[in-house]
């Protein structure tokens, strides 16, 4: 909120989900106040992620009354039934005046602040970026905005104030990586694989969904078998049943190779992070699943810095205090019903 309130020229916001709830309305109030001051506000949302607004279009129309320009990505007349259901823009991007950027796992809604009784405490990771990497976040927003609206912002210098500003060069190297079905290669997955294969000491993964393809599974097996400390943390409860039990099956397979698996018990784990050797890390929107690798439009920040990566490593270790370790013995004790759920979900993995 502070960054939004400080905006002087423009606010660009992109979110997979935008809820018409307490948090969503607070965002709109602040955005409307800034638009009234002459700040240009552009919002991009995913039509599938916001499918409930098909029944409540007045929420978006109210924004337009306040001179907020808001558009759907890949608009779909029937978002939960149409043929474009698979192609979801799962990116979360905020850019303010070209100086401040945000990305990570948090959408706009009450549940992402732990205000939803179903999920309770919400554990997520979202990062603030300043410096030249903000320009890369903004370029990605421009490309998605052009795809959705055909409006060309032309990469005008006024949108990139840090490009010739010495203060824009910080002491932390950050690489912004985006991928989607519009690309031939699975760029984010390839970066994950490169980092996993480079590990000498440890690999720490937090993800709500773990349904990777064979290349990622093999890389993790090899790392663990080579003596690398591989640890994966997933939620202890599902928000999507088939996805959860497919996740549970996959981490169960890795237990046989010495991978340590934890289920987060304090609330719902939605963070999407990877930390390798405590020296390089990633934070972003991509889960460790085939949907994020192949079908979704995603974005991550790769942080090449020991101090920042150590912070994420410490957060992971703190989270283990509120987690249950799933040992091979405990996994083998799961009941017949869970085994059936895993088997069915495994068959559906390619389309989850």
- β-strands 10-15, 40-46 pairing: parallel
User: How distant, in Å, are the alpha carbons of 3, 50, 222 from that of 198?
Assistant: 36, 38, 11
CB 109 within 8 A of CB 92: no
Tokens in use for 164? 């010739």
CA distance 17 to 209: 17
CA distance 291 to 208: 13
Residue 102 pairs with which residues in a beta bridge?
Answer: 94, 128
Q: 179-187 long-range contacts, Cβ below 8 Å, gap at least 24?
A: 179/286, 179/293, 179/297, 179/298, 180/89, 180/296, 180/297, 180/298, 181/87, 181/294, 181/295, 181/296, 181/297, 182/297, 186/293, 186/294
Catalytic machinery residues = 90, 92, 97, 270, 272, 277
CB 92 within 8 A of CB 107: yes
CA distance 316 to 323: 10
3 state SS of 59: helix
CB 305 within 8 A of CB 172: yes
């Amino acid at each position: 909120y502070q960054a939004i309130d400080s905006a002087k020229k423009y606010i660009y916001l992109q979110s997979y989900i935008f809820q018409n709830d307490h948090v969503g309305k607070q965002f709109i109030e602040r955005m409307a106040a800034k638009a009234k001051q002459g700040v240009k506000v552009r919002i991009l949302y995913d039509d599938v992620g916001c499918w409930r607004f098909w029944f409540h279009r007045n929420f978006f129309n109210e924004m337009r009354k306040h001179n907020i320009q808001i558009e759907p990505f890949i608009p779909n007349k029937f978002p939960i039934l149409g043929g474009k259901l698979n192609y979801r823009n799962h990116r979360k991007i905020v850019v303010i005046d070209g100086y401040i950027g945000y990305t990570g796992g948090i959408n706009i809604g009450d549940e992402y602040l732990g205000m939803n009784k179903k999920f309770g405490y919400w554990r997520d990771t979202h990062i603030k970026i300043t410096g030249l990497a903000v320009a890369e976040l903004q370029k990605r927003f421009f490309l998605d905005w052009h795809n959705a609206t055909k409006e060309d912002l032309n990469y005008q210098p006024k949108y990139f104030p840090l490009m010739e500003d010495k203060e824009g060069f910080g002491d932390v190297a950050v690489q912004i990586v985006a991928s989607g079905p519009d690309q031939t290669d699975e760029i984010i997955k390839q970066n994950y694989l490169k980092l996993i294969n480079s590990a000498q000491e440890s690999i720490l993964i937090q993800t709500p969904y773990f349904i990777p393809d064979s290349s990622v599974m093999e890389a993790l097996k090899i790392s663990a078998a080579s003596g690398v400390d591989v640890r994966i943390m997933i939620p202890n409860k599902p928000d999507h049943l088939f996805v959860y039990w497919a996740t549970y099956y996959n981490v169960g397979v890795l237990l046989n190779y010495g991978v340590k698996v934890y289920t987060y018990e304090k609330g719902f784990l939605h963070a999407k992070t990877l930390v390798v050797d405590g020296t390089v890390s990633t934070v972003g929107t991509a889960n460790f699943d085939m949907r994020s690798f192949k079908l979704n439009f995603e974005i991550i920040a790769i942080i090449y810095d020991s101090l920042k990566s150590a912070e994420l490593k410490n957060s992971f270790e703190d989270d283990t205090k509120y987690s249950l370790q799933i040992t091979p013995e405990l996994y083998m004790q799961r009941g017949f019903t869970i085994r059936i759920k895993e088997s069915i979900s495994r068959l559906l993995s390619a389309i989850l």
